[in-house]
Amino acid sequence: MAHQRRPEVRAADIRGLKYFKILGPLLDRLRDEGTQRDRAGNRQLFFDQYAGLLLLYFFNPIVTSLRGIQQASQLANVQQRLGCGRVSLGSLSEARGVFDAAALRPLIAELAQQALPVVVGKEAEALRGLTAVDGSLLPALPKMAWALWVDDQHRAAKMHVHFDVLRGVPVEVTLTEGNGSETAQLRATLRPGCLYVIDRGYADYRLFQDIIDVGSGFIGRLKSNAVWTVIEERPVSAAAQAAGVRSDRIVQLGGPHSGAVLQQPLRIVEVATGKTDARGQPEILLLVTNRLDLDAELIALGYRYRWAIELFFRWFKCILGCKRLLSTCPNGVTIQVYLGIIAGLLVSLWTGKKPTKRTWEMLQFYFCGLATAEELLDHIRKLDDHSVHQPA
């Protein structure tokens, strides 16, 4: 079959630009980024305009490629709202290497700080600062030599995300090649006052101590071959048993050599998931934490909340559309990822809810003219409050 060209982007296809008005003060601070390299003063595309065009790509299903973004820049209403003129493909390609992606990180932090809690209650108060951390691969083209992963034909970038579970938003994102170390990225981005929830891929005793030293806590999963010396057996309450807790111990983790980096006892809580493993045996989680003060059932609950970051990755790649990379250079990919994060944060702030597939579709219907503003607002008003709840 002959390749069918996508229809050109028309003015009638682009709606909802009034939402971009609130981005003005946020994006304005990007204006000077990259201008220091333009000594002749000939720059026609600035970072705030480039960021606005990429956000237009995320919100409008009719804009599906770099060429679609270029076509949208020819429209008078887009130019008026974003303050830009017609942009060439060459300028869009150049922008990926001129503008520093790091300038977007403060914007992510600022928007995330405005997000309202989606989990409330006494358990949420006890788990204050709960931050799920994990990495996820973004498939890359074979020509992206920097994106080392399996081999020359299987390249990937990896996004490393800190996800605020209680507010339902990402708060820290870094990008590496597919083989980038997840523990190294977490170590480099540790902050005080967090309760990190991490999977067994982060079972690094030196990392555990680094988290404690920076003034944070953690709930992690140990590998089955971990060793420890029991210091104290704690009683398991009825509430803990109902949550699947089988034992609760204060231990000295590690053997003579591996445990030497840990400067204090830790706690191991064994939790039955109610599932079976590959051998048909009951699945038991070995959860390790430095939080000796939390009830054992809260340790189990905190780890269960780690699933929130997996749902975020699915939403980010499959619904938001970040499976397709618009750039082949590390900085350009990072800019796209950061602006994708910002797009998701904007949905949370506009609706007051966690971004969902249905709400994202309704926003896209509105932005491409299939839904009216009244229909969009009616959808938002009807959103139930199941995401704002007291955890069971």
Name the pLDDT band for 216 (thresholds 50, 70, 90).
very high
**pLDDT score of 193:** 97
Residue predicted with more confidence, 271 or 111: 271
Q: Quick check: helix, strand or coil at residue 247?
A: strand
Q: Which H helix or E strand runs over 242?
A: helix 238-242
Structural domains of the chain, with CATH: 11-106+329-382 (no CATH), 117-310 (3.90.350.10)
Confidence of residue 7 (pLDDT cuts 50, 70, 90): low
The pLDDT score that the predictor gives to residue 2 is 46
Q: pLDDT digits over 237-250, tens only?
A: 999 999 999 999 99
Rounded mean pLDDT of 360-364? 74
Q: Are 48 and 107 in contact (CB under 8 A)?
A: no
Give the confidence band of 3 by pLDDT, cuts at 50, 70, 90: very low
E strands within 205-265? 217-221, 228-234, 245-253
Mean pLDDT throughout 110-135?
93
Q: What is the pLDDT of residue 85?
A: 87
Q: Give rounded-to-5 percent helix, strand, coil for the chain.
A: 45, 20, 40
Least confident of 45-54, 284-293, 309-318, 351-360: 351-360
Residue 51 pLDDT exceeds 50: yes
Cα Rg, the chain, nearest whole Å: 24
Cα separation of 324 and 335, whole Å? 13
HSE on the CB side for 264, CA within 13 Å?
14
Question: Which residue did the predictor score with more confidence, 323 or 283?
Answer: 283
- This prediction's pTM: 0.86
Average pLDDT of the chain to the nearest whole number: 85
CA dist list (Å): 378 to 37, 62, 311, 359: 47, 23, 26, 11
Nearest to 269 by CA among 242, 256, 251: 251
Mean pLDDT for the stretch of residues 51-67: 84
- Which residue did the predictor score with more confidence, 205 or 351? 205
Query: Residue 109: phi, psi to the nearest 5?
Result: -65, -40
Question: Residue 148: what are its φ and ψ, rounded to 5°?
Answer: -60, 130
pLDDT at 37: 57
What's residue 356's pLDDT? 72
Share of the chain above pLDDT 70, in %: 86
Beta strand residue intervals within the chain, DSSP E: 130-140, 155-164, 169-177, 195-198, 217-221, 228-234, 245-253, 266-276, 282-289
Q: Indicate the range of 230-234, 331-335, 375-379 predicted with least confidence.
A: 375-379
Digit-coded pLDDT (tens) for 141-192: 888 999 999 998 899 999 999 999 999 999 999 999 999 999 999 999 999 9
- The residue that leads in pLDDT, 304 or 316, is 304
Q: Give DSSP secondary structure letters for 147-206.
A: S-SSBTTBEEEEEEEEEETTTTEEEEEEEEETT--HHHHHHHT--TT-EEEE-GGG--HH
Q: What is the DSSP string of 28-60?
A: HTTTTTTGGG-TT------HHHHHHHHHHHHH-
Task: Name the residue among 95, 120, 21 with its Cα closest to residue 336.
Answer: 95
Burial class of residue 242 (count of CB atoms within 10 Å of its CB; 0-12, 13-18, 19+): exposed
